[in-house]
Structures are given as structure tokens and as C-alpha cells.
Structure 1
Amino acid sequence: MSRLELGSPFDRGTVEDRRQWRLSTIEGNELFGRGELAAADACYCEAQQAARRLLAAQAADGPPALNVAHQNLADLRHRQNRPAEARRLLDDALAILSASAGTTALSPPFRLACVRHLKHALGALLLDMRRQGDPETALAGAVEQARQAALNALNPPQQH
């Protein structure tokens, strides 16, 4: 049984949240493809909320669901010519995963899942930064943030 299968020890969150995330994402993608942006927005927002619930429950699929939800919404915001909102969504995904990875109160397997998915959040953010013409120093800052989050998750500060 894989870690993502229902019933595994790493499984948390609800079946309904997974179902809602998946169905809302699929429907949103179909609507986005047809150019029905307002309806796609509603679906993507539902998917984002389900992803946040999965993340809050420390579900194994919470980090990738959060990334996908934020990236879908960011793509939609770009299509709507709202690049600042798109950037905020991508920044938020990186910040949420970074914070979760570094929170020692969370389970180590969940924190490692957040670390693994930092690369996807960072990649989407860097692509957006390049597309918007951000300076190399800004890109380096985003890379450093992700690097520090990964290091902190792998080597948490010792409590005395």
C-alpha cells in the first residue's frame, strides 16, 4: 500500500476533501480550457480550500494539492491579466510549505513531504519571476528561502 492510499498510517484528511479537490480541479481545468474563467475561478477556489484542509490535517497529499491549487489559480490570474495576484498565490504556496516544513510540532513525514514539494512551488515562482522580468537578486532570494526551509526541516533547532 502506498503512503497515499486510504487507510495507510500517513493518511489523514478526509475522503471528501480529496474527492472535492480532485473533482474541482478537473472541472476547473475543463472550464479554463473552454475560456469560462469565472466558473473556473469558482472551481479552483473550491480546490484550494480542500487542499488547505488536507494540509491542515497533515495529509500526505496536502502539499502537492496545495501546489496544484495555487498554480492553477495563478495561471487563471495571469489569463485575467492580474499578475500581482498570480504572484501572491505563488509566494503563498512557497511560504506555506516553507513554514510547514519548519514547524517541529508537525510530524516528520509530513514535514519531509512539504520539503519535497518546495521544489515545485519554487519552480513555479521562479518561472513567474522570470516572466515578469524580476532581477536576479529577487530570484536568488526565493531560492534561499526554500533552501533555508529545507535545511530547517532536516535539521531542526535543538531545544535545551
Structure 2
Amino acid sequence: MDLGQRGGASIVSRRPEAAKRYAVVDDDNWQRITEAANAAYVRNDLHRAHELYREALDEAEWLFARAWASGTSGMSVPVPVIYNISCHNLAEIAERSDSLADAECFLVRAYDKLLASAASAETPLALRLDCTRHLKHALAMLVQHLKRRRVSNAQIESYVDRAKTTALTVFHVAKKAQIADHYCSSHSTSRPS
């Protein structure tokens, strides 16, 4: 879908299901869309900003799918950061429009995406680690929102506990992988002649 000209470049959104068709992945398109959305937000054109932030989230989904398929993001900004920013921008628009339920949905979406990706053994380890590192930002924004809404401490603790458990698991897996790599590399070089 062509969104027109922004900064001399055409902004084209790609859907996650189209990820396999593209060989080169970078975050330039996402950055252009987000910058255009930010400009609309500054102009107080919230409708246009919302449309563009939705396009940026679609692009973030596509980038996430590519990072998963390739095992690395290879972008100037880690894909979990891109995903967080995209969801948080939409949450901010929703809050500004007094739609706290929609804002919460976007904050939970960022948290859930990073948590599920970090927790999945199917996710490449480098991406699992990136998701784990940036899960704390998704969690912080979600907890801040939930506290403003006066949600029960038990519900907030549930989000915190799941993030902690996942982080510990991922870091344990990464440590085991590092030890295994070290063991394999030290034994492969010491073969008898």
C-alpha cells in the first residue's frame, strides 16, 4: 500500500505474510513511516498519526518475521525496540484520545510479543536474547499504565513474574549455549595428528 511521498521517498508497507519474498531487510521503511507519523502527531493530526503508526506496526511485524526467519535482525535498531516503539506510539495516541482500554491493548501486545518470542525455543537465540533485553521496557510501560488505572497488584505481579521467569530461562539457555560453543571449539582444535 503506497502511503504517498514523505521526505522524498515513497512509503510502502509490507505485511508479515509477505516476509519470505524479500531478501534484503532494513528498518528504513519503518523509520520513514514513523517519522511521518511523528510529524502528523506534532501537527495534532491524530487521525493521520494513528493511520501511520498502524502502518509502522505492520512494518514492525514484517521486520520481526524477517528477523525470526534469518536468526538476526541485522538492522540499525533491534527489532524488539522497533516493535516496542510501534506499540507504544499507538498506546500514546489511544491514551490521548481517552481510550485507556485501547492503550492497554497495545501495551499488552508489545509485552506479549516479546515475552512469547523470548520464551519460545523455536525463536533463534540471538532474537530471544534481544526480546528478553527489551522486554523490560515493554513491562515498564505496561506496569506504569496499569498503576495509573489502579489495577490490582496481583495482576501487575503476574506480568512481572512471567517476565522474570522468561528472562532467567533465556539467560540460562544462552549460558549453556556459550559453554557448549566453548567446549566444542576447544575440542575441535586439539585433535591428535
- Alignment match, 2:185: none
CA shift for structure 1 position 42: 1.0
**Aligned positions, number:** 144
CA shift for structure 1 position 114: 0.4
How far, CA to CA, are the matches of 2:132 and 2:24 in structure 1? 19
Structure number with greater CO (CA < 8 Å, separation at least 6) is 1
CA shift for structure 1 position 101: 0.5
> 1:13, 1:53 within 8 Å by CA — same for their partners in 2?
no
How far, CA to CA, are the matches of 2:111 and 2:105 in structure 1? 10
1:98-142 superposed Cα distances (whole Å, 9 cap, x missing partner): 110011122111110000000110011011111111122221111
AA partner of residue 121 (structure 1): A
| Root-mean-square deviation over aligned CA pairs | 1.7
Q: TM-score, normalised by structure 2?
A: 0.70
> 1:103, 1:153 within 8 Å by CA — same for their partners in 2?
no
- Alignment match, 2:54: 45
AA partner of residue 154 (structure 1): F
Q: 1:13 to 1:76 in 2, by over 3 A?
A: farther
Q: Secondary structure at the match of 1:155?
A: helix
For structure 2, list consecutive stretches of 5 or more residues without a partner in the other structure.
1-22, 68-72, 174-193
- Alignment match, 2:32: 23
- Alignment match, 1:5: none
From the CA coordinates, give the structure whose radius of gyration is larger. Answer: 2
Moved more, 144-153 or 78-87: 144-153
Is 2:160 the counterpart of 1:143? yes
